[in-house]
C-alpha cells in the first residue's frame, strides 16, 4: 500500500513534468466520449485536479468561478471515468477519452457543444436528456 502510494506519486510527477500550466496554473482539458468520439466539454485543470484524475481514474477540474478544484459529477452523479489521457505537442492542452455517466453539460445535454452555426443563427442541435 505504501509502495503503491509512492509509485503513484512518482507517476504523477512524471505526468505533470510534461505539462505546461498557464500563468494561472491551469491547463485546458477536452473530454471526448471514448466510444462515440463525440466532444463533450472543455474545462480547466490545476495541478491538483490532474493528480486527482490520475489517482482516482475520474475526471477532476478546477472551477475558475468558484476558485476550487472539483470532481466532475460530485453533486449530479454525472461522473467521467477516464479511459486514456493525451497531451498535445506544446504540452498545454489535455485530451481525456472518457466514459460519461449521464450528461456532461449542466443543461442536462450529453455534450456542451449543442449549438451549431447555421448560416444566420445558432441552432440548438441537441435536447436535454430526460431525468431518470
Residues that bind a second copy (CB under 8 A): 10-11, 14-15, 18, 28, 30, 32, 36-39, 41-42, 54, 84-90, 93, 95, 105-107, 109, 112-117, 119-122, 125
Q: Quick one: cell of 49?
A: 485536479
Alpha-carbon distance 1 to 39, whole Å? 36
Closer Cβ to a second copy, 2 or 117, answer by number: 117
Min separation Cβ 36 and a second copy, Å = 8
Alpha-carbon distance 79 to 114, whole Å? 19
Alpha-carbon distance 58 to 53, whole Å? 5
Phi/psi at 30 (nearest 5 deg)?
Answer: -90, 135
Closer Cβ to a second copy, 7 or 68, answer by number: 7
Min separation Cβ 10 and a second copy, Å = 8
Closer Cβ to a second copy, 101 or 107, answer by number: 107
Amino acid at each position: 500500500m505504501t509502495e503503491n502510494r509512492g509509485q503513484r506519486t512518482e507517476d504523477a510527477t512524471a505526468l505533470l513534468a510534461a505539462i505546461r500550466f498557464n500563468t494561472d496554473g491551469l491547463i485546458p482539458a477536452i473530454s471526448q466520449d471514448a466510444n462515440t468520439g463525440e466532444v463533450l466539454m472543455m474545462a480547466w485543470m490545476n495541478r491538483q485536479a490532474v493528480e486527482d484524475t490520475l489517482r482516482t481514474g475520474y475526471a477532476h477540474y478546477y472551477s475558475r468561478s468558484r476558485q476550487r478544484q472539483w470532481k466532475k459529477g460530485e453533486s449530479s452523479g454525472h461522473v467521467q471515468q477516464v479511459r486514456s489521457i493525451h497531451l498535445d505537442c506544446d504540452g498545454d492542452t489535455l485530451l481525456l477519452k472518457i466514459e460519461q455517466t449521464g450528461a456532461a453539460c449542466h443543461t442536462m445535454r450529453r455534450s456542451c457543444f449543442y449549438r451549431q452555426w447555421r448560416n444566420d443563427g445558432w441552432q440548438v442541435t441537441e435536447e436535454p436528456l430526460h431525468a431518470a
